[in-house]
Structure 1
């Protein structure tokens, strides 16, 4: 018992000794900690931590010593006589390009760390980058030594083979560290930036509070499925599996001058679909480029801008479901106008307007497509979305001045930027949207996606084209303006869903029956299966 207590008492002392020894001889201290841990004299976790922290503290100490030296160098006229400003700038440029790799390799080259780490500080290598790289390298190095001594079968194979295993581990270390830096750091950086900006949160993280809101509103208005009759003429009120072609036809019948016309292209043999496509193009004078999208879809899924017949053939060969062929509106501006009207009232209101910005990158003649995405603060957060959209640009260098539009579909999850568009709400626009909405039987709440040429026309309620109308599943997407707080977004969504349930209750009082929850879930499952075949949206 006494021996056990004595062993516990020595643990902090041994850990402190390892920590201090790293400042004089890193590898010897790490080997000592690993040996003590293997022999059971030192807790492996404590030994690992003390060796790692000692090495990392030493690395950071050298870096900050370098920053002091660099500062004094800039103040010393005598030193500047021996090293020109041009030479200093060249050294800084070299560190910017190759400093990370040099730091990785220095971990495995004896004697190189002291001058290199001091130079890193003096030449102003970013402290976060230096700390991250040296930290990962230290973890890999200490872990390799601990693993080698813990796992090396000394008794069975003898010292020579054990030494071979140890040497093999050390040879692999640079590769592991390089991979960790190359693939780990960018992902950690993007993860951190993404979760700091709630607009990019995944649905499973963002929507639970909305589900709780709907639960409360279900009790308040006495009906869980009331949103399914918010728009009685839409399947499930527009929650899921509503027909875009039927909605478009209703719009075209009521306000053809304000609608980008679209027509149903039913499922069937590819040759027959191509024949029907040619007929529709000829009959309605629809030129290329045109839009093809699934008749049942959400969040821009499957949206494609088709430039020629071969593109159409490729698309229809993949998407077997019913599709819509629609005239492409070339106007650069787009908004989402969220409208509502309570059943029984003569006029409705605009709840919110979202201004949509289509991001682009500009080539510099040196950087690859992926590198340009990473240089863009916002595009880097959803770079994988853009990479999947443009597989043909993998590794390609864009010419200097070449502009690439990253998204065509006006959906946030596809990479479009949303801004609050309250400044675009006017009495004329409200009256025009209300006039169009009242011509659609059984429609009371939803979002119009509209393209137009200039703000003045939109404010007058003129010269715009509706490209889509979404029902009860649509959102007041102005919440995704990065200037909005998470709390304000949830407050807006609560108001929106309160309207949805209130309108659903009014329609129930007028004799409409909500869909069953099971039926809605079944439709959601069928849609999810169908969407698996949809291509990446433009």
Structure 2
């Protein structure tokens, strides 16, 4: 997982070949220090226990357990959990809609040969109407942490994805943005204020191993300082390729979805935040009705253009349930991670309180519970994430 550079001759085994660069447009990937932090892959119920306690305290302080659901009054339950991506996409106006990668959606029909064939033809027609062509990205309408996200490069890929998608559930087919670089921009603006700020910038690096001409993919994964610790993530995903021997210097990408839980490498990008970048996201946030708190996931051409607030496409918008994902940088300490999340949640409840004073009424917490249960029910049914 070493950053691309112009290789000498002969090419060292840990470098990609010159015609197959990786991490294009990103700052150099710093792999110094520990491969992962000691808490990076703790069970969620352990890591988030202090956060749950803070939530209880904030709910008591602000006299409302559902107050956090008012952070984005136009989003389903504020975008806390189990929300429809399509419902959020359809809210977008102006610059936000222009910045979002094109999409269409389809509800999966009966799980049989005839149903798949009908869904295929419907999907192809919807793609044409949305000016989409292969390759596209397929993902569930309801889902988090990259679950069910796969590249679809052909009709055969689409048929396979549809066949493994749960009956009656909705999926999204979205433009595959050509840029390799990916980031998460966490944005916060207090109601009544004209401008907000980028609370967190996470740079996402897709992990690779580099062929040496004789080791299998399984052996390369096991030998890599980071991937070797995450074999439980990578090996099942690539189980049909594990005996493949990569040519000398050939890179192999281990993850497609830009999710930490799916094995993507996260780095704290706070040093790259600029006023121009914040102005660009102010304009985008202004064109989303009643949006104040959440994370924009995007792909961009180069870090220099992103710093100028240009050269990027949004692929997803997360509301109140999003988090400042730079905490998963392996150099972030546990104290720093909790300090970030505590401040994030303090702002979440403050925004909710302000919106309540503006006349918005918090949704029922039971609606959120139903949405959460539906999401948890669907997640295991989706196709395997790539």
Find 1:434's aligned residue among 282, 292, 295.
282
User: 1:509, CA displacement in angstroms?
Assistant: 1.7
Q: Does 1:311 align with 2:311?
A: no
Q: Who is 1:343 aligned against?
A: 191
Contact 1:358 1:416 in 2 (8 A): yes
Question: Over residues 174-209 of structure 1, what are the superposed CA-to-partner deviations in whole Å (9 max), with x where a residue is unaligned?
Answer: xxxxxxxxxxxxxxxxxxx99962112121221101
Q: Does 1:278 align with 2:124?
A: yes
Contact 2:202 2:268 in 1 (8 A): yes
Please give the secondary structure, in 2, of the residue aligned with 1:487.
Answer: helix
Q: What pairs up with 1:118-267 in 2 under 5 angstroms?
A: 197-251=38-92, 253-267=94-108
Question: Over residues 14-35 of structure 1, what are the superposed CA-to-partner deviations in whole Å (9 max), with x where a residue is unaligned?
Answer: xxxxxxxxxxxxxxxxxxxxxx
2:36, 2:182 → 1: CA distance? 27
1:288, 1:267 → 2: CA distance? 19
Q: Who is 1:290 aligned against?
A: 136
TM-score (norm 1): 0.62
Q: Which has the higher strand share?
A: 2
Please give the secondary structure, in 2, of the residue aligned with 1:198.
Answer: coil
Q: Who is 1:452 aligned against?
A: 300
Q: Does 1:482 align with 2:330?
A: yes
Please give the secondary structure, in 1, of the residue aligned with 2:290.
Answer: coil
Q: What pairs up with 1:21-60 in 2 under 5 angstroms?
A: none
User: 1:507, CA displacement in angstroms?
Assistant: 1.4
Q: Does 1:302 align with 2:148?
A: yes
Find 1:373's aligned residue among 221, 229, 236.
221
Q: How many residues align?
A: 346
Question: Over residues 146-173 of structure 1, what are the superposed CA-to-partner deviations in whole Å (9 max), with x where a residue is unaligned?
Answer: xxxxxxxxxxxxxxxxxxxxxxxxxxxx
Q: Does 1:359 align with 2:203?
A: no
Question: Over residues 78-136 of structure 1, what are the superposed CA-to-partner deviations in whole Å (9 max), with x where a residue is unaligned?
Answer: xxxxxxxxxxxxxxxxxxxxxxxxxxxxxxxxxxxxxxxxxxxxxxxxxxxxxxxxxxx
Distance 1:457 1:233, change over 3 A: same
1:378, 1:492 → 2: CA distance? 25
| Cα RMSD after superposing both structures | 1.7
Please give the secondary structure, in 1, of the residue aligned with 2:266.
Answer: strand
Please give the secondary structure, in 2, of the residue aligned with 1:255.
Answer: helix
Q: Which has the higher helix share?
A: 1
1:456, 1:386 → 2: CA distance? 31
Q: Who is 2:13 aligned against?
A: none
Higher mean C-alpha displacement, 316-325 vs 270-279:
270-279
Please give the secondary structure, in 2, of the residue aligned with 1:367.
Answer: coil
Contact 2:186 2:198 in 1 (8 A): yes
Please give the secondary structure, in 2, of the residue aligned with 1:472.
Answer: coil
List gaps (5 residues or longer) in structure 1: 1-192
Q: Who is 2:371 aligned against?
A: 523
1:284, 1:525 → 2: CA distance? 32
Contact 1:252 1:259 in 2 (8 A): no
TM-score (norm 2): 0.86
Contact 2:102 2:132 in 1 (8 A): no
Higher mean C-alpha displacement, 352-361 vs 362-371:
362-371
Contact 1:448 1:468 in 2 (8 A): yes
1:200, 1:250 → 2: CA distance? 34
User: 1:367, CA displacement in angstroms?
Assistant: 1.7
Please give the secondary structure, in 1, of the residue aligned with 2:91.
Answer: helix
1:455, 1:431 → 2: CA distance? 16
Q: Who is 1:508 aligned against?
A: 356
1:478, 1:516 → 2: CA distance? 31
2:210, 2:316 → 1: CA distance? 30
2:277, 2:55 → 1: CA distance? 30
Please give the secondary structure, in 2, of the residue aligned with 1:522.
Answer: helix
Structure 1: 4+ residue segments shifted above 6 A: 193-196
Please give the secondary structure, in 2, of the residue aligned with 1:324.
Answer: strand
2:377, 2:269 → 1: CA distance? 35
Please give the secondary structure, in 2, of the residue aligned with 1:282.
Answer: helix
